[in-house]
Amino acid sequence: MQPQEISLPERFTEASLKEKIFFSALTLFAEFGLNGARMEQIAEKAGTTKRMVVYHFKSKELLYVQVLEYVYTQIRTSERQLNLADLPPVEAMVQLVEWTFDFHATHPDFIRIICMENMQRGRFVKESAFLREINRSALDLLEEVLSRGQVKQLFNAAITAKDVHRLISSFSFYHVANSYTFSNLFEEGRDPAEHTDHYRKMAVKVVLRYIGP
């Protein structure tokens, strides 16, 4: 699957310098984390000055929060566009697993940002009501698919959306976050992309077996 084109946050569409600062920050936060990325680096990468970074975003922490909110908004917005309600429950679940796996595989900066936030023990996620609210849609989507399958006795009635989301995310996240170590230790250093199709199919099989009646 080809990497998806990143759409700009609506509030940036009329401010090209602000866009450059924002996406420079995203790249540097993904590479070095909040503590490692410096305002001077962000400014240099955006082709501007630290003063302009502060003018647009006030502080590095506030800029980081906007980046964190942005990467989560990207996955949740794209997820809601799948129109799973139009598909039979099993097909809907397969499409959701495959799509989630591919999204992670083609958005490595999303993975790195989330890894960095976990290294900070979820400090900013914990403080953000916006992030909790927007991510609720991931469980709502799964609950809708699961409930339709459970009514038809296709899925185990005891399965919860939270557990299924954790299972899908675990497979998808691990494939990217641990790709370098796993590839070098167990796959003779081959390009992790060579095995994407294999592990995507494995993820589908595992999820379907877990939720089965």
**Yes or no: domain 71-211 corresponds to CATH 1.10.357.10:** yes
| Residue 125, CA atoms < 13 Å, CB-side half-sphere | 17
CA dist., res. 114 & res. 40, Å (int): 23
In the chain, where the domains are located: 8-58, 71-211
Model confidence over 6-18: pLDDT tens digits? Answer: 444 544 444 589 9
Q: What is the pLDDT of residue 187?
A: 85
Distance CA 136, CA 76 (A): 9
60-80 and 16-36 are packed helices; what angle lies between their axes, rounded to 10 degrees?
Answer: 110
- pLDDT given at position 191: 77
- Note the pLDDT of residue 15: 53
CB proximity list for 149: less than 8 A, separation 6 or greater:
89, 90, 93, 155, 211
Q: Which CATH class is domain 8-58?
A: mainly alpha
The pTM assigned to this predicted structure is 0.85
**What pLDDT was estimated at residue 1?**
35
pLDDT (0 to 100) of residue 180: 87
Tens digit of each residue's pLDDT, the chain (213 residues): 333 334 445 444 445 899 999 999 999 999 999 999 999 999 999 999 999 999 999 999 999 999 999 999 999 999 999 989 999 999 999 999 999 999 999 999 999 999 999 998 999 998 888 999 999 999 999 999 999 999 999 999 999 999 999 999 999 999 999 988 998 899 887 777 778 899 999 999 999 999 998
Task: Give the long-range contacts of residues 10-14, CB within 8 A, separation 24 or more.
Answer: none
Convert the pLDDT of each residue in 153-187 to its tens digit. Answer: 999 999 999 999 999 999 999 999 998 899 889 98
212: left (phi over 0), alpha (psi -120 to 50) or beta: beta
Cβ–Cβ under 8 Å, residues 30 and 177: no
- Whether the CB-CB separation of 95 and 200 falls below 8 Å is answered with no
Q: Residue 38: which residues within 8 A CB-CB, separation 6 or more? A: none
Give the HSE-up count for residue 93: Cα atoms under 13 Å, Cβ half-sphere. 28
- Per the listing, tokens 């390009």 go with 191
Q: Given this model, what pLDDT does residue 149 score?
A: 97
